[in-house]
Amino acid sequence: MNVRRLIPTTAAAGAVVLGLTALSACSTSDAADGGNGDKLKVTASFYPMQFLAEKIGGEHVAVTSLTKPGVEPHDLELTPRQIGSISESDYVLYLKGIQPAVDDAIKQSGVKNTVDAATLTTLENHGSEVSGHDHDHGHEGEEEHGHEGEEAHEEHSEGDGHNHGEEGGADPHVWLDPVKYAEVAKGVGKSLEKADPDHAADYKKNTDALVAELGELNTAYETGLKNPSTRTFITTHSAFGYLAERYGLTQQGIAGIDPEAEPSPARIQEIHTIAEKEKATTVFFETLASDKTAKTLAKDTGLKTGVLDPLEGITEKSQGADYIEVMESNLAALQKALGAK
């Protein structure tokens, strides 16, 4: 049974209203022009792509997300209507490797302006343990189209295996690192300028504003996680590899990068040992998934549980109304768990 499907319809309905607030604001301001008629029709695959499209596109775009609020994006199955809507789009923004059904539909859609966010930054391999101790965590990486000088990952360039479910595949969760997400934002901005040159100046202005906001978020994380009591956190979904690497932390995933994978008894025993050795205090679970594994492990080890949101969707259960707010909540949760001052 897939626990991710057991989300109350009321929660989903409330989230739909929340998720569409930005769109309705745009639509009402354009009422005199007959609604969305003159806007660029943008299809986004799931929330992190929707957020970029709305923030950068502003009043010039009408954004539709293929993943409804409250649906775990990895589970997404497209309806014939959704597949048809992709073909009718002016611009499609997705992240290859997260949603195979979306990847296939986009490939067959024939849409000219199709952007894979994975090609706008550099992907890396992350297993269930990701450490960032040896990295330089300054800002200089923002302008470089890669990592902080770590050659070991260079073979994982934009185009190779983004298979989300395989241990050997590149990790697609780039949006959880504000610096990498800013790189993606810059690429999205440039592609929107090309797709709709009449509004290029606005797209550039909106991109610059978002990149500045993400820069502030990065600074908040750098400052907030500078002196933790422990650098290790435990999570049910190994989505936080880029975040751990950026800020010198170690993620210990109960399962792997695939959120559906059940942890082995050997891995659970290993987590017990790591928690004691590294003085980890908290087992994190996510808002769109069951907390059963986290609670069982926490009970067995005497650890606390907490929420660390991989931001794959916004619902009324989310600890914030948008990407920035939820990332700020994640920072507060990490500071508490890691004993950061």
Residue-wise pLDDT for 75-109, tens only, equals 899 999 999 999 999 999 999 999 999 999 999 99
Q: Of 117, 182, 207, 92, which Cα lies nearest the Cα of 199?
A: 207
Burial 68-92 (b: 16+ CB within 10 A, else e): bbbbbbbebebeeebbebbeebbbb
Query: Where does the pLDDT of residue 9 fall: very low under 50, low under 70, confident under 90, or very high at 90 and above?
Result: very low
What is the separation of C-alpha 76 from the centre of its chain, rounded to a whole number of angstroms? 16
Which tens digit of pLDDT belongs to each residue from 158-179?
333 333 333 457 999 999 999 9
Cα three-residue angle 232-237-240, rounded to 5 degrees: 55
pLDDT of residue 267: 82
Higher-confidence residue of 39 and 130: namely 39
User: pLDDT confidence of 121, banded at 50, 70, 90?
Assistant: very high
Q: What is the pLDDT of residue 130?
A: 54
Q: Which of 90, 87, 111, 120 is nearest to 190 (CA)?
A: 120
Residue 274 has pLDDT above 60, yes or no: yes
245: left (phi over 0), alpha (psi -120 to 50) or beta: alpha
% of residues, the chain, pLDDT over 90: 60
- The residue-averaged pLDDT of 318-339 equals 97
* Lowest mean pLDDT, pick from 8-12, 72-76, 297-301, 307-311: 8-12
Give the mean model confidence (pLDDT) for residues 212-227.
97
| This prediction's pTM | 0.78
Q: Which pLDDT score, from 0 to 100, does residue 36 have?
A: 59
CA angle, residues 144, 145, 146, in degrees to nearest 5: 95
**Encoded amino acid at 107, one letter:** K
pLDDT tens digit sequence for 223-273: 999 999 999 999 988 899 999 999 999 999 887 666 666 778 888 888 889
Sign of the four-CA dihedral 18, 23, 27, 29: positive
Give residue 296's pLDDT: 81
What percent of the chain shows pLDDT beyond 70? 75
Distance separating alpha carbons of residues 28 and 94, to the nearest angstrom? 26
